A and B are shown apart, each in its own frame.
Chain A
Amino acid sequence: MAKIRGAVKVDTEKCKGCSVCLGACPMGVLDLAKEVNGKGYNYCYMKDPEKCIGCASCAIVCPDGVISVYKVKVD
């Protein structure tokens, strides 16, 4: 069965760590990093990249538009 694999790319320097995307993700892929970016915010990253389905829910709720979503079909 074809499987969808997704990935998100976060512009970590612009991320403000508001965690809106964490609640929006249906698969629980995203989490806030322990490290901080140049502004002192814990930016978001993919904790569990295997689970991402590329649904773009995180990107459409991101207030700062820092998330780009990629999706590929795997046989």
Chain B
Amino acid sequence: MAELTINDIIKEENLVYKKTKVMTDNVMHYCPGCGHGTTHRLVAEVIEELGIQDKTIGVTPVGCSVLMYNYLDIDMQEAAHGRAPAIATAIKRVMPDKFVFTYQGDGDLAAIGTAETIHSCNRGENITIIFVNNGIYGMTGGQMAPTTLAGMKAVTCPRGRDVNTMGYPLHITELIAQLPNVRFVTRQSVHTPANVRKAKAAIRKAFENQKDGKG
């Protein structure tokens, strides 16, 4: 049999994976290798699989992912720093049939917006919060954040976080998991293919919980 060339394989009928249509063709502004791109794509793939592109409203935070509305072809709303869960609560209560999610980094969700996060979870709002934690204030130059791990080095703690003077890292995921009104909390990573698949399953489950009205 004649040897297959690459051009024989690259045909529309042999396609197994390509970028989802819910994402736009804009080039992302993130640094090379940043997990935001992967997470954006996972959200977009879940939205496409559930067929809710015209029923989804996203709330973007302040931080690197503030420009998320450039990359996802859905309705988006920009919130004040840390207040995305409050905006999402309002949107969901006004339009209960829409799927509402917030997409927040740790500086937004676990630092300035801790109160909004905890109270919206405590009220059991029927929204999905996607929390992207890198343990550092990456956008402003790598300063120590409340979520920075003990011993982790940052620009403002070059010898590593000392828990005696700087306190312990805020594990907001574990904190929220204690609340009785919270339906589904999980911690995932996107650095290997297996973990990306797990993270996608988690995002999908979160959206399905919202569909069932379980929060």
A binds B: yes
Least CB distance from B41 to A in Å reads 5
Tell me if A16 and B23 are in contact (CB < 8 A): no
- How near does chain B come to A66, taking the closest CB pair, in angstroms? 8
| Bound Cα distance A17, B31 (Å) | 10
Residue of B nearest to A11 (CB): B19
Q: Are B192 and A61 in contact, with the CB atoms below 8 A? A: yes
Q: Tell me if B32 counts as interface (CB < 8 A to partner A).
A: yes
The reply to whether A65 and B33 contact each other, CB–CB distance below 8 Å, is: no
Contact in complex: A64, B16 (CB < 8 Å) = no
A5 and B32 contact, CB distance less than 8 A = no
Q: A57-B193, A70-B14, A70-B15 are in contact. Are A6 and B33 (CB under 8 A)?
A: no
Q: Quick check: B6 and A63 within 8 Å, CB to CB?
A: no
* Chain A to chain B contacts (Cβ below 8 Å), 27 pairs: A6-B9, A9-B10, A16-B31, A16-B32, A16-B33, A18-B32, A19-B33, A46-B6, A56-B17, A57-B193, A60-B193, A61-B38, A61-B190, A61-B193, A61-B196, A63-B30, A63-B32, A63-B35, A63-B41, A64-B27, A66-B19, A68-B18, A68-B19, A69-B16, A69-B17, A69-B18, A70-B15
- The 4 A-B residue pairs whose C-beta atoms are closest, nearest first, are A63-B37, A18-B33, A18-B32, A16-B32
Seen from chain B, the residues whose Cβ lies within 8 Å of a Cβ on chain A are: 1, 4, 6, 8-11, 14-20, 23, 27-28, 30-38, 41, 190-193, 196-197
